[in-house]
Amino acid sequence: MKLNQDELDMLLQTVKIEANEEEATKLQNDSIKLEDWFASIEEMNTEEVAPTFYNYYGGNVQREDNPRVASEEKKKKLFNIAENFKEGFYRVPPIIE
Q: In angstroms, give the least distance from the CB of 1 to other proteins.
A: 6
Q: In angstroms, give the least distance from the CB of 72 to other proteins.
A: 13
How many beta carbons lie within 10 A of that of residue 3, not counting itself?
A: 20
Q: In angstroms, give the least distance from the CB of 17 to other proteins.
A: 5
Contact residues toward other proteins (CB under 8 A) are 1, 3, 7-8, 11-12, 14-19, 23, 26-27, 30-31, 33-34, 37-38, 40-42, 44, 46, 49-58, 63, 66, 74, 77-78, 80-83, 90, 92-97
Strands 89-90 and 85-86: antiparallel
Q: Are 8 and 27 in contact (CB under 8 A)?
A: yes
- Between 63 and 87, name the residue whose CB sits nearer to other proteins: 63
Angle between helices 5-15 and 21-42 (to 10 degrees): 100
Q: In angstroms, give the least distance from the CB of 88 to other proteins.
A: 14
Q: Distances from the Cα of 44 to the Cαs of 5, 38, 39, 41, in angstroms?
A: 30, 11, 9, 5
